[in-house]
Amino acid sequence: MIPPRLERLLDAGAPPRRLAERFIAAGRSLYLVGGSVRDALLDRADTDTDLDFATDAPPDEIPGIVADFATGFVLTGQGFGTVGAVRDNRNYEITTFRSEVYRRESRKPEVTFSDDIETDLSRRDFTVNALAIRLDDDTPEMIDPFGGLADLAAEVLRCPLDPAISFGDDPLRMLRLFRFVSTLGFTPAADAVEAVGSMAGRLSVVAVERIQTEFDKLMTGEHVGVALWGLVDSGLAAEFFPELPALAVEQDPVHRHKDVLAHTIAVVEKTSPDLTLRLAALLHDIGKPATRRFDGDDVSFHHHEAVGARMARERLTALRYPTRIVDDVAELVFLHMRPHTYKMGWTDAAVRRYVRDAGSLLPLLNELVRCDVTTRSAARARAIERRIDELEERIDELRAREEIDAMRPPIDGHAVMAHLGISPGPVVGEAMAMLLEHRIEHGPYSEDEAHRMLDDWMADRA
């Protein structure tokens, strides 16, 4: 029996039924499988965004079967049994029943094809993803050979086969285990966690790009804190993000936690599910182990933000993150201590410089600073919150009087060259830097004043 919440996926005019008609006509079977079935049963939004199918048709037959449905094809995965049928800017992945096993020394799986749906489902990662709906007749049928429906109800992540087999087929599934902990809030089965502990080193055969994609999903999940603890406690984090477990041995007397790792995960949990912000929260104290210094019973981490920015850049680059994310996260890490100096009093120039340095990252930076407060002292927490409130009020006040989000001198480089009678070169850049510094220190000024400043500056250079 098909639950009512799945009916919209199975309407006569919906893509699954239209595809099924073509496979039936070709004498083949078609099943709706995986995440779309799971998410529809959980009544999660956007369950039909990604629709995956399994079939007994060989990969080379699939394009011909769906030729009058698809307006294009994605064939990059055909060697592994997957054909993407593109229609209305959506990609419907259709995969031949298969079993895939990684060679110990290889990043690419060996693929062998099976001839029945149960064998195919047995080689999937978790029972809640080993659910299928048979579409090859007028009465769709739920296929659940491994108890996925019961595990879905119990909110448990369990492998269809022995976890050593499932994780051996594709070691990335060890990371996917904790990704689903984060996104679904499910509890991993004890034998799965135990298998991760003994097999974590096998993650080394997985391409870095695949690791990054799974980690991104984990980092933006609703239950990210539990998932991060799972990564660390299982030993998996040490395989691709060794700086994270290294934080566990660093005492942090400022925050309410006995080590920096506990504080870090608490900060990540408090942030909005923005990838850049959460990566910055995860990495904001990464420089503390390298900067720890003892003075009697006191411990300090001077300049950990500068060291941390460099380390964050190195780690994210190693994980092949896009340059924009690497730059933004490193900048957030570098700047996250700046607002704490506001308690010493800031001039308008200091506020302008903060806004200029943060740029488009200003909202994320302010949220990171707020979330970085995990002290057990309620009074100290309120004091920090008040300082950030006051800083944001100062920024708003300056915005009301002048343009501070895109501060620039009143003239550009061409005007500088024309006024000074010089050609393009380093002198133009130095002059613009001088004019910008004056803008930051003293606020807006006129073109005439800019020209006088240029004359004085050139005279001093001479």
Residue at token pair 């994270």: 244
Round to whole Å and give the CA distance between 16 and 52. Answer: 9
Nearest CA among 394, 306, 304 for reference residue 355: 394
pLDDT at residue 200, as a whole number: 97
Say how far apart CA 352 and CA 358 lie, in whole Å: 10
Tokens read off for 371: 């979330």
Whole-number Å distance between alpha carbons of 458 and 437: 16
Residue 319: other Cβ atoms inside 10 A: 18
What pLDDT was estimated at residue 406? 83
Please tell me the predicted confidence (pLDDT) of residue 383: 82
Dihedral angle sign, alpha carbons of residues 21, 23, 27, 31:
negative
**pLDDT of res. 379:** 82
Rounded to whole angstroms, the Cα distance separating 81 from 94 reads 8
Specify the pLDDT at position 104. Answer: 64
Q: Name the residue with tokens 């006129």.
A: 446
Classify strands 52-55 and 90-96 as parallel, antiparallel or unpaired.
parallel
- Structural domains of the chain sorted by starting position, each given as residue range(s) with its CATH number in brackets: 4-154 (3.30.460.10), 155-240 (1.10.110.30), 248-407 (1.10.3210), 413-461 (no CATH)
In the predicted model, residues of the chain with pLDDT beneath 70 are: 1-5, 45-49, 101-109, 137, 249-258, 294-300, 302
Instruction: Give backbone dihedrals phi and psi of 363, rounded to 5 degrees, phi first.
Output: -60, -40
Euclidean distance between CA atoms 127 and 134, whole angstroms: 17
The amino acid sitting at 172 is L
Distance of CA 209 to the CA centre of its chain: 12
3-state secondary structure the chain: CCCHHHHHHHCCCCHHHHHHHHHHHCCCCEEEECHHHHHHHCCCCCCCCCCEEEECCCCCCHHHHCCCCCCEEECCCHHHCEEEEEECCEEEEEEECEEEEECCCCCCEEEEECCCHHHHHHCCCCHHHCCEEECCCCCCEEECCCCHHHHHHHCEECCCCCHHHHHHHCCHHHHHHHHHHHHHCCEECHHHHHHHHHHHHHHHHCCHHHHHHHHHHHHCCCCHHHHHHHHHHHCCHHHHCCHHHHHHHCCCCCCCCCCHHHHHHHHHHHCCCCHHHHHHHHHCCCCHHHHCEEECCEEECCCHHHHHHHHHHHHHHHCCCCHHHHHHHHHHHHHCCHHHHHHHCCCHHHHHHHHHHHHHHHHHHHHHHHHCCCCCCHHHHHHHHHHHHHHHHHHHHHHHHCCCCCCCCCCCHHHHHHHHCCCCCHHHHHHHHHHHHHHHHHCCCCHHHHHHHHHHHHHHHC
Residues 6+ apart with CB under 8 A from 444: 402, 403, 410
Contact 405, 355 (CB under 8 A): yes
- In this prediction, residue 47 carries a pLDDT of 46
